[in-house]
Each structure stands twice: as C-alpha cells, then as structure tokens.
A and B are shown apart, each in its own frame.
Chain A
Amino acid sequence: MAKRRVAARGRAWVALALFGFVLIAAGVIWRRTAGIARSREIRTLEQRRVQLESERAQLESDVRNLSSRSVLAPLVEHRLDMRVPNDSQVVILPRPRSAP
C-alpha cells in the first residue's frame, strides 16, 4: 500500500515536471514566434519606408525637372508669348534702410 502511494507521488512529480517543461517550452516558443512576427513587421515597415523614400526622390526629381528652365522656358515662350526681359527692363531695388 505504502509502495503504491510512493509510486503515485513519483508519477505526480514527473507529471508536474513535464507540465513545467511544456509550459516553459510553450513560453519560449511563444516569445520566439512573437519576436519573429515583430521582426517580419519591422521588415515590412522598413520596406515600406524605402519604397516611400524612393517614390519621394523620384517625385521630387520629376518636379524639379518639370519646373526647370529648360522645360518651362520653351513652354512660356511658345504658349504665353513671354520672353526674357532685356537688361533695361530689370530694376534692382536697393535694400531699404529700415526693414519693416
């Protein structure tokens, strides 16, 4: 009888140890899975940042190209009949003594 009680207690300890092991292993796996998920998320966000920066560089370049003199000058000359003023039509204002 006593022998059986000892065996039952031993099995309980083994079960407890196993349960603890499973619990710890689950924790480790959960932590690792969460880490990987965050890491994947970071990677996605980083890719998105690079993508947006690349787009920004391209758009800024497009804006600069389209607003550059080489593009605008022919357009305003032909469409709006504007031209570069000659130097007699340009007045350089001296800086006012007291700026408001």
Chain B
Amino acid sequence: MVFRQSRITLIHLSLVLFAGAIIVRAAQVQLFQSKQWVQRAAQQHFASTALPASRGAIYDVSGAPLAMSRQMLRLSISPREVKDRRAVGRDLARLGVPAPFVSRATDARRAWVDIPGTFSPASATDLAAMRGVYTRPTVDRVYTPREATRRIVGWVDDTGTARAGLELALDSLLRGIDGHAVIARDARGRRFDSPADSDVAAESGDAVQLTINQELQEISVRALSDAISKMGATGGDIVILDPQDGEIRAMASDRVGQPSFGNPAISEPFEPGSTVKPLFAAELLQRGLAHPTDTVNAENGVYTIEGRTIHDDEPKSRLTLAQAIEYSSNIAMVKFVSRLTPRQEFETLRDYGFGMPTGVPYPGEASGILYPPSDWSKQSPASMAIGYEVAVTPLQLAAAYGAIANGGDLLEPALIKEIRSRDGTVLYRHDRRVVRHLFSAQVAATVRKMMVGVVQGGTSTEAQLARFTLAGKSGTARRGATKHGYTAGHYTASFIGLFPADKPLYVIIVKLDDPKSTIYGGKAAAPVSKIVLQAAIASRDAALDRTALASSESLSKIEDTTVASAGEVATRSDAAPDTDSAPAPPVVVVLPAHTAAQRALGPRAVPDVRGLTIRAAVYALHHAGFRVQASGAGLAQSTLPNAGAVAGAGSLVRLVAAP
C-alpha cells in the first residue's frame, strides 16, 4: 500500500515537474524570446512585396500620349519547388525566354533562377500560378511614336532607370514613390493579401505635357530623313518654334550611321554662316546706324580686308542693306557691320543669346561659342559679320529669329508646357518669358520684309509657298574647321523661315550637314522647309492657329472655292488627281482644330444636319466634335452614322449632300 502510494506520488511529482517545465518554457518563449519568435513567424507567414510606382505619363501639346507606363512582371523560378518542370519549361519557351535560362529554370539542382526581361501579366498568367514560380511587379514604358520622339523624350531601361532625354532630366518628377504590400502565405506557400491593412500604396509620378506637337514632329522627322537621303547629307536638324510664346513645336535630328542618342539640335553648335546677317541688320536699324536703302560698294564680288579675301557668289557693284540680305552678300554685310565697334558686334550676338545655354530643361545643352573681343583676331569682326568664328545650336538660332518674328522680344525657349501631379494639381505651367527686348516692332517688321525678299526673289526662292508669304534666310557655311582653315568641299546648308511673314506662327530652321548634291542653303534646306510647311498646313493638328492663318494677308488673294469636304482635314472623293505644276481646284478644307474640351467629352450624339447647307452642316458636325467627310455640294441629306446615333468624339461622320 505504502509502495503504491509512493509510486502515485512519484508520478504526480513527474507530472508537476513536466507541467512546470512547460510553464517555464512557455514563459521563456512568451516573455523573453517573444520578439525573436514573432519575427520568425512573420518571416514564415508574411512577405513584403514592393509596389512599383507608375511613372508619370508624357503628353504632347495636344494631349496625345508620347510615353505611358504599364505594369509588367518579372519572373523568378525556384526549381526545387517546381512540381511540373516540363510545364514550366514549355511556358517559359512560349514567352520567348532564351533556352539556357529555360534549362536552368528546370534544373532541380538549382535553388533560384531569375528570368531576364519583363512579361505582360496576360501572357504569364498560367506560369505565375504554378508552384515554385515567383513574380515581381515592375513598370514598363511604352513610347508612341517610338522613333519620332526618341531624341526628345529619351527612354527608361529595363530596370526602370531613366537613361536619356526628358525621362532623365525630369526623372525626379516622373518616377513617383514606390509602395509596398504585405502578402500572407498559407501552409502550402500560396500567397494572398494580408488581412492586416498595412499596405503603403505607390504614388505615381507627375504627368508632363510637352510643347512638342506630335504631328509636326513626325512631319519634321520624315522630311529630314528624306532630305538627308536625297541630298546625300551626313545629318541634319529641324527646329520649329512658336515665336509668340517661345514654345518648341518640333525638334528633329538625324545623323547617318550614328545611334539616335542625344539631341543635336540642342547639343551640337555649328557656324551659322549667312543666317546671322538679318540679326546684324536688325541691330544696325535699331541703333540707327543703317537704313534699308543705304548702299555700300559691293566690290563686284571680291573684297580683301585685313589680309582675308571675301567673295560673293553673285557679284554686284552697289547694294542696299535690304539687297545685301536678299542676295546674301558677304562683302556688303561686312561693310555694313563694320559700322558697329567690335564690342557692339559682340554684344549684338550675346544679346541674341549666343554663347550661353537657352535654359531649356534638357540634359547636355550646349552654350555654343562666342569669344569676347579681347580674344579676336583682326579678321574676326568681318568673319563674325558673315557667321564665322561663332557657333550656335539650331535652337539658339531659332530663339534669336523668334525676336524678329514677334516684334523684338528674345524669349526663353520652352519644351515643357505643363506639369500636373497625380491628383491633377498644376505644379508648373509655362508662361511666356522675355529674356530681353532687343529691338522695336518696327525694326522687326522691316527685317521680316527684307527676309520676304530673300524668298520671293533672292537666294531662297525654292522655299516659296503659293498662298502664304514666307520670310526666310539661307546660310551656306564651310564646316570642318581645323587649325589651318576649313576642310575643302564640306558645308553646312541651312535655311530659316518665318511663317507666315506678316505674323509668324512658326520659326522653322532646317540644317543639313555636308549635303552632296548641292551645298547651298537656299537649294538644299529651303525646299525642306517648304515640304514641312505644306504638310503642316494640310495636317489635321499641327499646332497652327488657323484663325490667324486665315487672316494672313496672302489669304485674301484666294479665290472663292466650292466647299468640297470638311472636318479638320478631309478629301473629296471625286477629286481629280493634282499636280504640283498646275494647282487643281481646292479639295481640302481645314477647320479649326478641336479644342481639348470638345475632345474630352467622350461619346456624343450625331447632330441632325438634314436640310442645312453643306457649309453649315460641316460646321455643326465639326462643332460637335466629329471629323467629317462630305460628298456632294447641295443641301445636306443624311449622315452616317445617322442623326441621333452615339459616336465617339473625333470619329468620322460621312455627310451626304445633294449633288
């Protein structure tokens, strides 16, 4: 009995000791090691995953997206966890993953394999659902149109790092702030959102609207590319600027055999040659040192000054200042500019902004070259008068000519129109910024008149438009400067146009490097400006103020024409083929571009225009936000879609009128 009692006591004691040990251990775990165990549990049950911020979009001036972000996936495989290796291998191959990575991903000896590249969530859905396949969200950049705006917009690499262009310059605004989410894992390793609401949402970057017009940019890129091929040039640039507010509308560059990196229109200065002559003419007029009808001896085409012989391609005996510009006389301009002291000559070019960056927010902008008079040789004043010993970027030259176009204000060129935060707050909006007032509006008008002479009867007649007056100036400058002079046979051909001449909406610069078929700016570059301007006039949306264009003086000469079709641009279906030599009756009618408000309203009903004159019907449809293709010339009979039908803003409505 005593023995039995002592056994029970022993068992009780053991149980108490065991319970005590459990309590002690529990106390140790809960009270002293709790942090460590909580961490370990969290590691096993929860995982933090990064939520990449969507990069801010980049739009053109009319709101067309140039760069957008979309979410993609990066894949990692844990081959040891994969159950169906064959299926994983097959899906990876279907996604275009290189074979070596497919074999690595299905090799059970490997613990972890990162698959290169990004994949659309749609294409990787099946794969992502498999055990052992891990995904990480990442943001991919989509550019439209890719090539036309590549040099301006730049790009972002596979890791999301901005590499060039505005993507790089505005990276801090565009990139946004990454967030993170807590993902819970169940016993099988499957992931689901944690019930605890501890996610930090990603903040997308700011949206940037550029001053660039996509349509005009594409026109410029194509015209430049065609011109380079046709002329056998080694490269070229086109810059189009709105001279009234300094906004850059297009900026195209091409270098044969070189990758499309950087933006030479901003970063590569060149000697402008004769294109500086109107700038000096304006200064002479402003200072009262010359009058357009003042004459100088043009020396019949050969003149030696300070040991340097200057030639004119068109020998003349006497020339006025206006004629010196019209015929681009080097000799006459050297003599006119000699009325300025070297200091005044230097200040003239400096005041146009040469020798310093324009301030446009783009990485790698060049200052150009402008030496102070203390560094000049005896020949420098004459050289500078005809555009040598000074180097400017196409953008600097466009900004300088902007002053002639707008009545004397040198404006700061702008590439960014507006920056908006994610919630739509305007963070920045471009306002016209005057750097300095250079000369009076009267002087500007006089110089424009001289430049009209250049296009109408001077060196650049090939730029002339049929219905609009263009002011322009060509330049043909030697290139390839060495210590011993210039390399023979290499030239820069350039042309600057102010369109239309009376109240310019565009300053256009065309520069061709080393053209082979002809070296002259008036022959090589001027026709390119004509091609660009014609395409812009006919274009649906090339940032042209059509009301201002319609009121241009030269338009009053247009004879009455029959309305054939409308919309922003529409073509009459029964039009006969036209030829350049014999302009056919007008077949294209252009109405003001749709306003942003008209475009933003979304789908709307087609208005009932039956019984209206075709002109009124076209206007009503256009006003409602549709593009119109009309046939017939009498009263409107029907539309397709029918009146009352809902159609998207900007969609085409066919208008049938009585013949």
Where the two chains meet, the residues of A that have a C-beta atom closer than 8 Å to any C-beta of B are 35-36, 39-40, 42-43, 47, 50-55, 57-58, 60-61, 64-65, 68-71, 73, 81-82, 84-96, 99-100
Q: Is the CB of A51 within 8 A of B122?
A: yes
Stretch at the interface among B417-425, B513-521, B545-553: B545-553
B178 in the interface, Cβ–Cβ < 8 Å? no
Number of A-B residue pairs, CB cutoff 8 Å, is 153
The contact string, 1 if C-beta is below 8 Å from chain A, for chain B 122-151, is: 100100000000000100001111111000
Q: Are the CB atoms of A91 and B121 closer together than 8 Å?
A: no
Known: A69-B218, A86-B580. A57 touches B465 (CB 8 A): no
A87-B465, A90-B590, A92-B549 as given contacts; A35 in contact with B146, CB under 8 Å = no
Q: List 19 A-B contacts (CB under 8 A).
A: A36-B186, A43-B192, A57-B69, A68-B148, A69-B145, A73-B222, A84-B535, A85-B588, A86-B534, A87-B534, A87-B538, A89-B586, A91-B588, A92-B546, A92-B549, A95-B619, A100-B609, A100-B617, A100-B619
With A36-B192, A94-B550 given, is the CB distance from A58 to B142 under 8 Å? yes
**Looking across the interface, which residue of chain A has its beta carbon closest to that of B585?**
A89
Q: In the complex, which residues of chain A have a beta carbon less than 8 angstroms from the beta carbon of B68?
A: 57, 60-61
Of A36, A54, A73, which is in contact with the most chain B CB atoms at under 10 Å from its CB?
A54
- Cβ–Cβ contact A91 & B619, under 8 A: no
Inter-chain pairs besides A58-B142, A81-B577, 20 sampled, C-beta below 8 Å: A36-B195, A51-B122, A57-B68, A60-B65, A61-B68, A69-B145, A69-B219, A69-B222, A70-B147, A73-B222, A84-B534, A86-B580, A88-B586, A90-B467, A90-B537, A91-B586, A91-B589, A92-B549, A92-B555, A96-B616
Contact A89 B588 (CB under 8 A): yes
The CA-CA distance from A100 to B624 in the complex, in Å, is 11
Interface size on B, residues (CB 8 A): 73
Closest 8 pairs (CB-CB, A-B): A88-B466, A51-B121, A57-B70, A88-B583, A69-B218, A92-B550, A64-B144, A68-B145
Instruction: Classify the interface of chain A: helix, strand, loop or mixed.
Output: helix
Known: A68-B144, A86-B580, A96-B615. A54 touches B121 (CB 8 A): yes
* Residues 564-582 of B contacting A (Cβ, < 8 Å): 566, 571, 577-578, 580
Q: How far is the CB of B316 from chain A (nearest CB, A)?
A: 32
**Chain B residues numbered 559-615 whose CB sits less than 8 Å from any CB in chain A:** 561, 563, 566, 571, 577-578, 580, 583-584, 586-592, 609, 612, 615
Q: Mark B193-216, 1 if CB is under 8 A from A, else 0.
A: 111000000000000000000110
Q: Does the CB pair B195–A87 fall under 8 Å?
A: no
Instruction: Identify the interface centre among A39, A43, A88: most chain B CB within 10 Å of its CB.
Output: A88
A91-B590 in contact (CB<8A): yes
List A contacts of B589 (CB < 8 A): 90-93
A89 touches B546 (CB 8 A): no
Cα–Cα, bound, A100→B623 (Å): 9
**Among A57, A85, A91, residue most surrounded by chain B Cβ atoms (within 10 Å):** A91
Complex-state Cα separation, A60 to B144, whole angstroms: 9
A residues within 8 A CB of B467?
87-88, 90
Chain B interface mostly: mixed
**B218–A68 contact, CB under 8 A?**
yes
Docked complex Cα distance between A99 and B617 (Å): 9
B592 and A95 contacting across the interface, CB-CB below 8 Å? yes
> Do A58 and B70 touch across chains, with their CB atoms under 8 A apart?
yes
Which chain A residues lie closer than 8 Å to B637 at the CB level? none
Q: Tell me whether B432 is interfacial, beta carbon within 8 Å.
A: no
B551–chain A nearest beta-carbon distance, Å: 9
Q: How far is the CB of B587 from chain A (nearest CB, A)?
A: 6
In the bound complex, CA of A40 to CA of B186 (Å): 11
B124 to chain A minimum Cβ distance, whole angstroms, is 9
Q: Is the CB of A54 within 8 A of B588?
A: no
Contacting pair A90 B588 (CB below 8 A): yes
- Are B566 and A65 in contact, with the CB atoms below 8 A? no
B-chain residues with CB within 8 Å of residue A69 when the two chains form the complex: 145, 215, 218-219, 222
Nearest CB on A from B341, distance (A): 44
Q: How far is the CA of A99 from the CA of B468 in the complex (A)?
A: 28
Tell me whether B64 is interfacial, beta carbon within 8 Å. Answer: yes
Q: Which residues of A contact B192 (CB under 8 A)?
A: 36, 39-40, 43
Instruction: State the Cβ distance, A76 to closest chain B Cβ, in Å.
Output: 10
Tell me the bound Cα distance from A64 to B612 in angstroms: 34
B71 interface hit (Cβ, 8 Å): yes
Contacts A85-B534, A87-B534 known; A65 to B558 CB distance under 8 Å?
no
Chain B residues contacting A82 (CB-CB under 8 Å) are: 571
Known: A36-B192, A68-B144, A89-B584. A58 touches B120 (CB 8 A): yes
How far apart are A79's CB and chain B's nearest CB, in angstroms?
15
Best-surrounded residue of A36, A43, A50, A69 (most CB of chain B within 10 A): A69
Interfacial chain A residues near B535, Cβ < 8 Å: 84
